[in-house]
Amino acid sequence: MRRIAALALLPLVAAAQAPAPAKPKTPSEITAGAPRSDWREIAAEDLLVFELKDGKKVVMQLAPEFAPVHVANIRALSKAGWWNGAAIYRVQDNYVVQWGQNESEKPFPAGVVAKPPAEYARPLAGLGVTPLGSPDAYASRAGFVSGWPVAIHDQEGLANLAHCYAMVGVGRGLSPDTGTGGELYTVIGHAPRHLDRNIAVVGRVVQGLEHMSSLPRGTEALGFYKERTSDVPLVGAKLASDMPAAERPRFEYLAGASFDAYLNARKNRQDDFFIRPAGGADLCNVNVPVRPVPAG
């Protein structure tokens, strides 16, 4: 696939030559050409910036529409400095990276709900769904809500955030414990959708996931690091809304007609490389475009 790298240049070259019949746009071309009005900015209080050593940052988008109590907890934990001195202590290949205070005795700050409800799914009613239009092995159908990949259970009238790559969930013990939000994990492998509706999904990583996904895998059962000296320390975490305006990271996701076109192109790849468009897509293989808000 080395030569794929050169392909990105082809459309530019072709444009300088004789006119050719219109070709369907690729997903990248649709994203790059989307009008400003088809991008939706993510609220500053929904962006949480984790800082690792050496200035590395991992930016997470919170999903209060799906797990309001857990998200409120995570905001309260951040404001109280919970993540200062936390660490990544589990990296399981094709599964998850997990971080938090692990086995430390750090007490929960005031304002944190110790036993949140089981926010594993929410009522479907009131959600504006862009249908995926392909079958799903874990739900009656699937689609997208405000840029989130969502599984829909029509008979029960419920919807849940799907455990796609980069999604973030709340570590917990056995039921009825739902976790507080003090221990989090993100998916770094094929979507472990069997966790859907068994765990509170609270958001996704929108930038810097590679600082987690490229960490050495843990050698203990479930990918836990054997020695605490292997843990990867966190400096801390801060909500974008708690930063001075000039320092806040800003992100936006693709929506509107451009997202519809992007979804269709993902299902029917017609780039020069492709011989046979699939005619469909798995929910977690669509990858809703999210990017920093362009300057200016």
Does 98 participate in binding its own copies (rule CB under 8 A)?
yes
Does 141 interact with its own copies (rule: CB under 8 A)?
no
Alpha carbon distances (Å) from 55 to 157, 204, 211, 215: 44, 20, 11, 16
Instruction: Supply the minimum distance, in Å, between the C-beta of residue 243 and its own copies.
Output: 26
Cβ closest to its own copies, residue 79 vs residue 153? 153
Coil, strand, or helix at residue 29?
helix
Figure out which of the listed residues 116, 181, 192, 203 binds its own copies, where binding follows CB under 8 A.
192
Tokens of 287: 């990858």
- Which of these, 183, 168, 198, lies nearest to 61 by C-alpha position? 168
CA distances from 68 to 120, 134, 176, 218 (A): 11, 29, 18, 32
Stretch that binds its own copies, among 38-46, 76-84, 123-131, 166-174 (CB under 8 A): 166-174
Find the binder of its own copies among 86, 284, 288, 290 (CB under 8 A).
284
For position 135 contacting its own copies by CB under 8 A, the verdict is yes
Q: Is the Cβ–Cβ distance between 64 and 153 less than 8 Å?
A: no
Which of residues 211 and 238 has its CB atom nearest to its own copies in the complex? 211
Q: Candidates 48, 161, 166, 288: give the one binding its own copies (CB under 8 A).
A: 166
Query: Under the criterion CB under 8 A, does residue 54 sit at the interface with its own copies?
Result: no
262 lies in the site for its own copies, by CB under 8 A: no
Residue in 23, 37, 214, 292 binding its own copies, rule: CB under 8 A? 214
In angstroms, give the least distance from the CB of 193 to its own copies.
Answer: 6
Contact between 226 and its own copies per CB under 8 A: no
| Residues in Cβ contact with 230 at an 8 Å cutoff, skipping those fewer than 6 apart | 216, 218
Minimum CB separation from its own copies for residue 251, in Å? 17
32 binds its own copies (CB under 8 A): no
Tokens 């790059």: give the residue: 32
The vertex-279 CA angle with 275 and 285, nearest 5°, equals 95
Residues 68-97 touching its own copies, rule: CB under 8 A, are 89-91, 93-94, 96
Taking the alpha carbons of 284, 60, 93, 198 in that order, is the dihedral positive or negative? Answer: negative
